[in-house]
Structure 1
């Protein structure tokens, strides 16, 4: 176990002005607080916070972070309190320790809602002070290094949690070395056979190739020196988890991998980076499509480097990363490389979060993920934000947008602004019109075409890749659906109040809201539209003295619901009364404009309805109105629920281009070309075939059940007439049910 003076010396190597007395007090306090506690390995428990502090000294962190590491388990596992730590070590350190205590029990195999709430606490604590994340990552790294001492039933859970949350967080903060070690330790636990197989194969390959890594290092160094470029060249084999990931991603075997070796070329200046790249590309053949310039377009976690792959000696593919020493430090330590700066006095202090893009990304992610999501949605979208490689695209004005691989213009639009995403109707990729579902590639210039009349379809949620886009689509869909139900409920309420002879106004409804257990009038209208509140209950809430008509009164004579379109006789027997001539205009009926209108409307599933049909609306709780033609036999199934019947009317402009569903049954001769003639008759009249079923009734005739879209009843009758005029057609009839 590290001694007190050894810890101080580790800090003094990079920070000569360290507060030795503070470190000594923290060391002694933590050791006494943990007392006789022991770890599963049998070691004193204090050895764990001490090793966490040692890991952080390798990252060259400030005194407060080192002290927080020493104390990070004291509030959780000992009798220590925040007040006592604040008195002894100051408010800053006490806040760090408390932040770590809050997120101590992050358990990703518990119930999903609990997982999400714990993860939310983790991210919020990190957002307050990034050093919470640095201590937490070091804590997890040491726990993974000693995982073999954990009870077997817990090892997989801890390893999976590390792979799901902590390794991606380290990557997002640019701490690649820590990420790789966390991934490799997790992989070793979760897939021991695969880990052993890969390490064995790599070892065999190493013996076969001999000193290949050293040979490439030497050749590279000599080539650069000849051009006057001083460089440090470091080579290594890829780690087992990285190899496994590539095999899984590309669905290939180990023998098919061609770039198991990676090299870092570290030079003095940015100019030397590009000079070194020229040396490499003239010495060895480049692999097309494998060059990436992260210097001109850094990653969101501040990573900068030139990446290229060449065919090296022995025809072996070699990956190269070329960077300056400052870039290398950021690549290795990530956000921790920004954790210190020098004050005029020379004392170390914490760098402002605005100076690191990685931390800015974290804050933005938390902001995006905290906009009213359920716990389950929060967890889903957080993982989406953590798990992805990236592509870099540009707006027409040159703004860089970083997106996950497989992202679409939908994700791009929401990354620009939520309003741009909500109003997107199309896009151009590199100047050419493209579908919104296209997969974006590095360097694409994307222009989003918008329309104020657009609302995002719910299906976009399954197409979008980013958590921000999915959450925004979900919110917009919910808002649109709520607005539809609210509009329907308002219309139903206005007509119900009119039939009851009562005044209707926002003020009257507002006074009734508390009696209906709702917050605002819009909630009441939405509940009425969804069928959760009956219009009778709404009237009674507004006018307590009102007495609804008795059921037997409603059943005498023509029912008020359909005003002469059908009758409900005593005993709830439903009978249709089709009046002669055109029906009178029913101004108090609910206007129907189609499925894309302002109300939640759908049409009868077996036959639909078209303008010109006499129609009835059936209210289905949670689904809106289903429109049936009056002759539909399906209406009989609702005869025992008269409260669900709504008086509806068409409100469609004759010049409207909206189409409506209908179904026809065509009997045609069974001969070549008959289907073509039927389709031609429908198409010539401007009809659109949505679905087709064919069944043989006999050897000579075939029945075709055709779902078509038409403008209105006149349009439908014209198509039927044209079909009957075809020689191959024996009969045509409209189908309802």
Structure 2
């Protein structure tokens, strides 16, 4: 265990102006508070905060952060209080310690449902001061180093959580060294057999290629020196988890891996980086497609380096990383490298100004911004994991702005990355000057131009196309807002119709004043509740007009409980482009020309609108159609000749006149049902299916209704373009010698 003077000397070695009194006081205070406590390993508990502080000294963090590391468990595990910490060490340190205490109490090793909310709170705690994150990662690293002392079931849960959250979070903060160690320990815990196998194969390979790393280091150093380039060259084998991840992602066997060896070349200047690259590419051939320039286009976590894979000595592929010493420090320590003690400024000063220096911390803040948009904790965790685990591609706007996106991103993700409003109004795109589909997978260097329309709202299906958390969250918010508005429009029409039927007038101001009666905030919430069926028109009518007669209120029950409204149209769901328009007069009743109560307009929203075709025979364009309102069911579309309509003759208030409105740019087939009477002989069924196929009909189902010695009766569910198409099929079937008759079921 590190002694008190050793800790102080470690900090002063990189920060001559460190507050030694603060460090000594924090050391003594923490040791006294934890004095009688022990860890699962049997070590004194104080060894844990001391080791956390030691990890942070290697990152050369300010003395206030080291003090927080020493104190981070005192409020949680001892009788220390926030007030006492404030009094002894100052409010700033007290706030950081309390933030870490709240994170500890989150109990992240928990069920999935709780984990989402806990992770959300974790990032909120981090957002106030990045030092909370640095101490938390160091705390997790030491806990992982001593994981073998835990129970086996607890080890697995902690390792899984580390692999899913803490390791990728460290990676996105650019803290690669900590990420590598977290992943290696978690990998060995979760997949011990795979880890042992890969390590054994690496050992065999090392024996086979003994000396290759030293040979390449010496060769490369000499060649660079001959050209006047001073460089530090170091080689290494890839880590076991890195190899395992690549084998899984690319479905490769160990023997197929060709870049197990990696080399880093550290030089003094950016110019020297490119000179080194030139030397290497003239000595060893470059593997096509394996060069990346992260100096001109840094990663979102501030990582900068040149990457290239070459065919080195012995025809062995090797991966090279070329960077300056400053780049290397940031590559290893990431956001912690920005928190270095500088220019004699007091180490206790707040370093939240990192937002101006660190793109990684900027990403963290933008991620936390999503918390304000009403996503559920589960959605937030899902979206954040999407961004934690994806590698990146870099694309450009027409004006040259660089947009970093996860691999697999589409123009939809690009649009939302530029601005939420651009994403919400996106209707098309151009990639590298060519009109492209919105599902195009973007590649490095693509220039993307978004085509917009103010009339556009994002379809719900986009959520399944987008890969970034920001895009998915924005699409989901826009969908919810649109659905709420459409439910509200429908509810308003339902209420207007109900009040009119009862001989009363709907006064929105009166209704809004009663919003609290139904636990609603405003008028739109009331309308939306009616549109969704949460409130009935009868309930509202009786509250607004208590003297209304029961029979009048009963007529208000015709409200449709589960549909959405907009612009007087309704359609058949997300996958259908067919719409119907409700005329200004109702379908039934009254003398000729007599105006009835205006039926309300309806439109589908995704797959939520309960609009369906008649179960017996369907309906096709060319039929005159009517809609039947069914409370709790929705609207059923019938052709006017359907015999099933007799069941609704005594319920005229449920009838709606509707008409077809087809999209010629997106033709669709519609359901119809036919009965075919065919001679009982070989080839009859083949004749029927051939006719339908040749006329481009689609068979959904065939059912044998009657089977006799001389003929068969079959019922066939078809999909056809329209009534003309259906009649063509029927006429062609009737013309065949082995078919005695063919007719439409509901015709």
**Fold similarity call, TM over 0.5:** yes
Aligned-partner Cα distance in 2 for 1:521–1:241 = 57
- Over 3 Å counting, the alpha-carbon distance change for 1:244 and 1:665 in structure 2 is same
Query: 1:5-154 maps to which residues of 2 (within 5 A)?
Result: 5-154=5-154
Alignment partner, residue 719 of structure 2? 707
Conserved in 1, the CA contact under 8 Å of 2:626 and 2:637? yes
Change (3 A) 1:520 1:72: same
Q: 1-side partners of 2:273 and 2:588: how far apart?
A: 87
Is the Cα contact below 8 Å between 2:213 and 2:236 reproduced in 1? yes
Distance in 1 of aligned mates of 2:285 and 2:556:
89
TM-fit CA distance, 1:343: 4.5
1:572 corresponds in structure 2 to none
Q: CA deviation at 1:418?
A: 1.5
Looking at structure 2, the residues matched to 285 and 380 of structure 1 have their Cα atoms a distance apart, in angstroms, of: 42
Measured after TM superposition, the shift of residue 597 of structure 1 is 11
Q: Which residue among 404, 407, 410 is the counterpart of 1:408?
A: 410
**Which region of structure 1 is more displaced relative to structure 2, 467-476 or 653-662?**
653-662
Distance 1:657 1:194 in 2: 54
- Relative distance call for 1:586 and 1:596 in structure 2 (3 A) is farther
Instruction: Quickly say closer, same or farther: Cα 1:450–1:501, change in 2 above 3 A.
Output: same
Q: Secondary structure at the match of 2:218?
A: helix
1:225 equivalent to 2:225? Answer: yes
- What is aligned with 2:518? 516
Separation (CA, whole Å) in 2 of partners of 1:614 and 1:651:
6
Larger CA deviation: 510-519 vs 7-16: 510-519
Could you tell which deviates more after superposition, 273-282 or 500-509?
500-509
CA gap 1:521/1:58 in 2 versus in 1, 3 angstroms: same
Is 2:205 aligned against 1:193?
no
CA distance in 1, matches of 2:110, 2:450: 41
Equivalent position to 1:471, from 470, 473, 482? 473
1:291–1:307 contact (8 Å) kept in structure 2: yes
Q: 1:665 aligns with which of 674, 680, 683?
A: 674
Instruction: Give the CA RMSD over aligned residues.
Output: 3.4
Q: CA, structure 1 residues 346+188, in 2 after alignment: closer, same or farther (shift >3 Å)?
A: same
Contact map agreement 1:668 1:674 (CA 8 A) in 2: no
Number of the residue aligned with 1:613: 624
How far did residue 633 of structure 1 move? 6.5
* Number of the residue aligned with 2:635: 625
CA separation of 1:655 and 1:77: change in aligned 2, threshold 3 A? closer
Match of 2:392 in 1: 390
- How far apart in 1 are the matches of 2:487 and 2:466? 26
- Deviation track 1:693-720 (CA, whole Å, cap 9, x = no partner) reads 456889899865322344xxxxx2x444
Q: CA 1:417–1:87 in structure 2 vs 1: closer, same or farther (change >3 Å)?
A: same
- Alignment-derived partner of residue 650 in structure 1: 658
Q: Which residue of 2 aligns with 1:261?
A: 261
Please report how far the alpha carbon of residue 731 of structure 1 lies from its aligned counterpart in structure 2 after TM superposition: 5.0
> SS at the partner of 1:370?
helix
Partner Cα distance (2:423, 2:728) in 1: 45
**TM-score, structure 1 normalization:** 0.88
* CA offsets 1:557-582 (integer angstroms, 9 cap, x no match): xx999xxxxxxxxxxxxxxxx98999
* SS of equivalent residue, structure 1 residue 210: coil
Q: Which moved more, 1:49-58 or 1:387-396?
A: 387-396
**C-alpha distance in 2, partners of 1:552/1:605?**
27
CA distance in 1, matches of 2:131, 2:702: 68
Whether the aligned pair in 1 keeps the contact of 2:512 and 2:523 (CA below 8 Å) is yes
* Unmatched runs of 5 consecutive residues or more in structure 1: 562-577, 683-688, 711-715
- 1:326 deviation in Å? 0.7
Paired residues of 1:592 and 1:648 also in contact (CA < 8 A): no
- Preserved contact between residue 238 and residue 262 of structure 1 (Cα < 8 Å): yes
- Report the CA distance shift for 1:426/1:552 in structure 2 as closer, same or farther (over 3 A): closer
Whether the 8 Å CA contact 1:618–1:626 is kept in 2: the answer is yes
Question: 1:183-332 alignment to 2 at 5 Å?
Answer: 183-332=183-332
Summarize deviations over 1:587-620 as a string: whole Å, max 9, x none.
Answer: 4242557658999462326314657635233345
Q: Shift in Å at residue 426 of structure 1? A: 2.3
Displacement of 1:425 in angstroms is 2.3
What are the within-5 Å matches in structure 2 for residues 338-377 of structure 1?
A: 338-343=338-343, 349-351=349-351, 352-353=353-354, 354-377=356-379
Q: Matches of 2:71 and 2:208 in 1, distance apart?
A: 49
Question: Residue 586 of structure 1 contacts residue 649 of structure 1 at CA under 8 Å; is this kept in 2?
Answer: no
Q: Is the 8 A contact 1:616 1:630 kept in 2?
A: no
CA distance 1:322–1:634, shift in 2 (3 Å): farther
Change (3 A) 1:82 1:665: same
The secondary structure found in structure 1 opposite 2:195 is: helix
Alpha-carbon contact 2:501-2:556 (below 8 Å) kept: no
The 1:549/1:35 distance shift into structure 2, 3 A limit, reads same
Q: What is the deviation of 1:415? A: 1.1
Structure 1 match to 2:611: 602
Aligned counterpart, 1:399: 401
Alignment partner of 1:482 is 2:484: yes
Using structure 2 for the length normalisation, give the TM-score: 0.86
For residues 308-334 of structure 1, the C-alpha deviation after alignment (integer angstroms, 9 at most, x for no partner) is: 100111111100000011101110110
List runs of 5+ in structure 2 lacking aligned partners: 561-586, 679-683
> How many pairs does the alignment contain?
703
Q: What's the secondary structure of 2:551's corresponding residue?
A: coil
Deviations 1:367-424 (A, max 9, x none): 0243101122122122222121111112222211111112222211211122222222
What does the per-residue CA deviation read over 1:415-457, in whole Å, with 9 as the maximum and x for residues that have no partner?
1122222222222222223222222222222222222232222
Rounded to whole Å, the distance in 1 between the matches of 2:648 and 2:144 is 63
C-alpha contact (below 8 Å) 1:292/1:308 kept by paired residues:
yes
C-alpha change, 1:709 and 1:451, in structure 2 (3 Å) is: farther
Q: Note the 1:667-706 alignment, pairs <5 A.
A: 667=676, 670=684, 678=692, 692-693=700-701, 704-706=716-718
Q: Give the secondary structure class of the aligned counterpart of 1:265.
A: strand
Q: Give the conservation status (yes or no) of the 8 Å contact 2:671–2:717.
A: no
- How far apart are the structure 2 equivalents of 1:554 and 1:173? 59
Cα deviation 1:224-243 (Å, max 9, x = unaligned): 11111111001100011001
* 1:529/1:625 CA distance change after superposition, 3 Å: farther
SS of residue matched to 1:364: helix
CA offset at residue 477 of structure 1? 1.7
Aligned counterparts of 1:111 and 1:590: Cα–Cα separation in 2: 50
Residues 1:181 and 1:546: Cα distance change in structure 2 (over 3 Å): same
State the alpha-carbon separation in 1 of the partners of residues 455 and 313 from structure 2.
Answer: 60
Contact 1:720 1:733 in 2 (8 A): no
How far apart in 1 are the matches of 2:530 and 2:512? 14
The whole-number CA distance in structure 1 between the counterparts of 2:324 and 2:402 is: 23
Contact 1:720 1:732 in 2 (8 A): no
Tell me how far apart the structure 2 counterparts of residues 220 and 531 of structure 1 sit (CA, whole Å): 74
Taking a change above 3 Å as real, the CA distance of residues 515 and 638 of structure 1, as seen in their structure-2 partners, is farther
Secondary structure (helix, strand or coil) at the match of 1:393 reads strand
Alpha carbons 1:487, 1:525 under 8 Å: kept: yes
Please state whether the residue corresponding to 2:547 is helix, strand or coil.
coil
CA distance in 1, matches of 2:728, 2:510: 55
The alpha-carbon distance between structure 1 residues 72 and 318, as it changes in their structure 2 partners (threshold 3 A), is same
Shift of the alpha carbon at 1:361? 0.7
Kept in 1, the 8 Å contact 2:425–2:452? The answer is yes
